[in-house]
Structure 1
Amino acid sequence: MSDSSAHPPYAATAVQKGALIVGIVFLVVGIAGFIPGITTGSLSGAGSGSMAMLLGLFQVSVLHNIVHLAFGVVGVIAARGAGASRGYLIIGGIVYAVLWIYGLFTANHTSGANFVPLNTADNWLHLVLAVGMILLGFVLPRSRSRRDDRIRTVG
């Protein structure tokens, strides 16, 4: 007989569920960036030359969409463990904070420095993502509650 506590279930803790949800949202956004109608305009590989707009608001490119997909995959994988989930949320939040700062100088510019590409709406979203992910990483508990364990043993 195996000990089920040695291998807790996937996304068993609150922080794991948080990482999973954030990861799924990034996957959905990354996929949506390639769907005509949801994304309008000319989608280019990278750079400020991409005139594609996700939901008519966020400037995207193939590179931008791939980054969203990669962040999503990492989140789904990180949800396997509480420590990895916490790291994903906090480090991912820091990455988005850096991207927000970068966007303060490059958003809406047509220079080569705006290679992601970014506009003002992207920049505000990156700030919200940075704050939200970091908060989730610090606030969500890394262990299951005793109530969860009692429910699991009864059910």
Structure 2
Amino acid sequence: MGVGIVLIVVGILGFIPGITTNYSELRFFGPDSKALFLNLFQVSMLLNIVQLAIGATGLTMSRTAVGARNFLMGSGLLYIVLSIYGFIVGVNSAANFLSLNTMDNWAFMVMGIVMAGAGWLMTRHLEEDVKTRSSTPGT
């Protein structure tokens, strides 16, 4: 749930002038969007919308332990893929449709690894919980 909330907040803040510098250069998508979230991370309207959607998905899926685990692992892998894609296509490429810069790529890689790792750790505990419940009489 916390990850979902953070992603929603980041998505909203990406639309706020001052927190996002060069706001007049914010574009819907593509490498021509020169707006910078916290003066570090290149953003576009599409990237902000994607962050909002992933965050909302996280809030929805966090209602159950299995859903939270699946969200962390799935979104973690998505962020890793986006990071690798960003590194491959480069900052100024027309294929850079989300407007990712090098800082975005590294942040997405770290986020992806942490999220997928947290999901994996939840998997280990979920399996232990299932074993405990099935061995306890009356459950």
The one-letter code of the counterpart of 2:45 is: V
**Structure 2 counterparts to residues 36-115 of structure 1, below 5 A:** 36-41=17-22, 42-109=25-92, 111-115=93-97
1:28 aligns with 2:13: no
Q: Distance in 1 between matches of 2:90 and 2:52?
A: 21
State the aligned residue count. 124
Residue 22 of structure 1 contacts residue 72 of structure 1 at CA under 8 Å; is this kept in 2?
A: yes
Q: Distance in 1 between matches of 2:112 and 2:82?
A: 9
The one-letter code of the counterpart of 1:50 is: S
The one-letter code of the counterpart of 1:84 is: G
Higher normalized helix content (fraction of residues)? 2
Provide the identity percentage.
47
Q: Distance in 2 between matches of 1:54 and 1:107?
A: 19
SS of match in other structure, 2:98? coil
Q: Distance in 2 between matches of 1:29 and 1:97?
A: 18
Residue 107 of structure 1 contacts residue 123 of structure 1 at CA under 8 Å; is this kept in 2?
A: no
TM-score if structure 2 supplies the norm length? Answer: 0.85
Ranked by relative contact order (alpha carbons within 8 Å, sequence separation 6 or more), the top structure is 1
Deviation at 1:97, TM superposition (A): 1.1
Q: Deviations over 1:73-106 (max 9, x none)?
A: 0000011111111110001111111111101112
The one-letter code of the counterpart of 2:109 is: L
Residue 97 of structure 1 contacts residue 130 of structure 1 at CA under 8 Å; is this kept in 2?
A: yes
The unaligned stretches of length 5 or more in structure 2 are 133-139
Cα RMSD, aligned residues only: 1.3
TM-score if structure 1 supplies the norm length? Answer: 0.77
Q: Distance in 2 between matches of 1:107 and 1:40?
A: 22
1:132 aligns with 2:114: yes
Deviation at 1:107, TM superposition (A): 3.2
Q: Distance in 2 between matches of 1:97 and 1:30?
A: 18
